[in-house]
Chains A and B, each alone.
Chain A
Amino acid sequence: MSAVTYVIYAFLGINILFNLLGSFSLHRFPDVYTRLHGATKCTTFGTIFAVLAVVVHAAYQLHLTGDPKYLQMALHSLVALVALLLTNPTGAHAIAKAAHLSGYKPAKAVIDAYEEKLRGGEE
């Protein structure tokens, strides 16, 4: 086993750890906003490392074999990563705003700044 294999295993380990943490946080948090917080951040971070593992694997295979399909695999994985990084926080923001506007209040919240802003009008 070369050093590249250990790097790939480390990236896959981080991917599995954070993706499973994101899935468990859906069941361990009390309301929509905390669940959104845990699930979105953890799964985005885990997926970054999944794509990085694939890129390292493809670059190593490209170095070993010289087959151009591995270059294609690395570049397309990076495009998928960019698409996910642009769309995932935007979708989470849209869900949180929609949940607040449709009447689901945060459980156990001490202060709700968005509610105060909506109630007080323009600052």
Chain B
Amino acid sequence: MIAPEFFYAAVIVMIGAFLALLRVFFGPSVPDRVVGVDTLNTLIVAGMVLLGAAYDRTIYIDIAIVYALLSYVGTLTIAKYLQGGLR
């Protein structure tokens, strides 16, 4: 572990991601769960970038880029499905 401050920051960001996961589990409606998943995706990207700096691996940050773009596609797909098709 090269830089421990980035590691502990990533741990605290992952605690926030766990709080977002509670909203995904206990969300009373479907858009609440989608909001929880969207927040979870953003926090996971932040955690991946911080872990890439903590372990001194650039490949983690590359995976964070791909994860951000794919989670965007997933969010758009769920939103289109929720509003009843392509309208």
Enumerate chain A interface residues (CB-CB to B < 8 A).
8-9, 12, 15-16, 19-20, 22-24, 26-27, 32, 35-36, 39-40, 43-44, 46-47, 50-51, 53-54, 57-58, 69, 72-73, 76-77, 79-80, 83-84, 87-88, 90-92, 94-95, 97-99, 101-102, 104
Contacts and interface: CB of A to CB of B under 8 A. Distances in A.
Given A50-B9, A80-B45, A43 B35 contact: no
Interface residues of B toward A: which range?
Answer: 35 or more
A32 B31 contact: yes
Secondary structure call for the B interface: helix
Given A12-B6, A19-B46, A77-B61, 17 more contacts: A8-B5, A12-B5, A19-B12, A19-B13, A22-B43, A27-B19, A32-B31, A32-B32, A35-B32, A47-B43, A54-B6, A73-B53, A90-B72, A99-B82, A101-B84, A102-B31, A102-B83
23 contacts: A12-B5, A19-B16, A22-B39, A23-B15, A23-B20, A27-B23, A43-B39, A46-B46, A53-B6, A53-B9, A54-B61, A57-B6, A76-B58, A77-B52, A83-B65, A87-B72, A90-B76, A91-B75, A95-B78, A97-B83, A98-B82, A101-B84, A102-B31
B29 A73 contact: no
Contacts of A19: 12-13, 16, 43, 46
